Amino acid sequence: MIGLPDYVFRLRQQNDAVDCSNKHGLIVGGTRGLGAAAAERLAGLGASITIVGRTAEAGRLVLENCRARSPNSTAAMFNMITGDLSLLAEVDRIASDVADLCQTRKVGIDFVVFTAGCYGSSAGWTMLSSTTRTSEDIDYWFSLLYLSRHLLIQRILPLLELSTAACVVNVFRAGSRASLDLNNLGLSGKGNLETISSIGLYIDAMTISLAQMHNSIEFYHLGAGPMVPYPVVENTTQLPALAWLARTLQPWLYAQSPLASEAAEAVVSLTVEPHRAVSRSGALMSYRLECVPPTQFIQSPDTLERIWQYTKSLLSHRGFNGLR
C-alpha cells in the first residue's frame, strides 16, 4: 500500500489473515486515539469488543464504527463501560461491570489493551505543577497509568484464564528509563514530570512480574508512541519558552510517531496472535514489534519484588486485597 511504512504494510497483511470471530477484547481507553483505532480494527477482524472510557458519546461513535466494520455484526457484541480510571473505586466497579457483562454473555476475555491517558493533558496537567492528587489522595498519573491497570488486571484474571490464548498489552513507554529510587517508590516529593517519566518502569516491572506468575496469559509492554508527552509540554503555561520549543519541534516529533491506525497494527498483532510476537511473554516492545531490552535494574528479582510488594501494600491499604 502506497505511503505505509514497510513494517505496517507487513503487519497489516498478516493481521488481515486472522479470524477473531470467537474472541472478546477489552480496550481500556477505547473511546479515542490508539484505543479507538485498535477497537475498530479488531472488530473488523470479527472480534467482540468492550471499550472503557469516560465519554459516552465518543464511545457510541466507536461502537458504531466497530459494528459497521464487523464481518459478523449479528453475532459479535459491542459494549461500552464508562468510568474514571484514575479512581481505584471506579476501576473496581468497572471490573465488576466487565464481569457481569461476561457472565450475561457467557464469554471470557481473550485480550486486554490499555491505552487510557498516555497522552496526558486531559486533566489540565502542566509540567511545573507539583503533583495532581485524585480525590482518593493518590497521584493522578500514578493512579491512572499504573495502579488502575494493576487493579483491573487483577480483578479480571479469572476472565482471562477462561481463554486459551489470553493476552494483555499495556501501552506506554516501554523500557524508557534506567532506574528508580527503591526507597521512594511512592515518588514522594517528585513533580508530575518525574512521576510520568517513571511510570514506564513500573509498567515494565508489572509486565515482567505478571508474566512470571501467570503462565497461561501473555503480557506485553508496548511503547506505541513518542518518548515525550508533547501535547502536555505544549500546554505548559508556566514555561512559555518550553511551550514554544515543543510547538517548534512538533512536526519532527509527530514524524517520529506512528499514526493511530499504524500503531493499531502492532496492537492487533500482539493481541490476536501473541505467539507471532518476536519475543516471549513479559517482553517490552517497540511499536515496530522490536524487543526493547529491559534494563538490568528492572530485571533484578529484588527490584521486581520491591515494586510488587509496594503495589500490593498500597492497594491493600485502600481495601483492595488479593493481588496474585
Ligand X SMILES: NC(=O)c1ccc[n+]([C@@H]2O[C@H](COP(=O)([O-])OP(=O)(O)OC[C@H]3O[C@@H](n4cnc5c(N)ncnc54)[C@H](OP(=O)(O)O)[C@@H]3O)[C@@H](O)[C@H]2O)c1
Positions in the binding site for ligand X (CB under 6 A):
29-35, 53-55, 58, 84-86, 115-119, 122, 144, 171-172, 224-225, 257-260, 263
Handedness of CA 158, 167, 217, 303 (dihedral sign): negative
- In angstroms, the CA 207 to CA 51 distance is 21
Least CB distance from residue 21 to ligand X, whole Å?
A: 25
105 vs 93: CA distance, rounded Å: 18
Nearer to ligand X, 206 or 214 (CB): 206
Q: Shortest Cβ distance from residue 258 to ligand X (Å)? A: 5
Q: How far is the CB of 62 from ligand X (least distance, A)?
A: 8
Please identify, using beta-carbon distances, which residue of 172 and 219 lies nearer to ligand X. Answer: 172
Q: 303 or 315, CB closer to ligand X? A: 315
Nearest Cα neighbor of 44 from 27, 67, 26, 61 is 67
- Closer residue to ligand X in complex, CB, 32/190: 32
> CB of residue 236 vs ligand X: minimum separation in angstroms?
17
Q: Whose Cβ is closer to ligand X: residue 163's or residue 233's?
A: 233
CB 227 within 8 A of CB 176: yes
Residue 53 bridge partners (DSSP): 82
Locate cell 515494565: which residue? 204
> Which residues touch 309 (CB under 8 Å, ≥6 apart)?
none
Give min distance, CB of 36 to ligand X, in A: 7
Residue with cell 501473555: 218
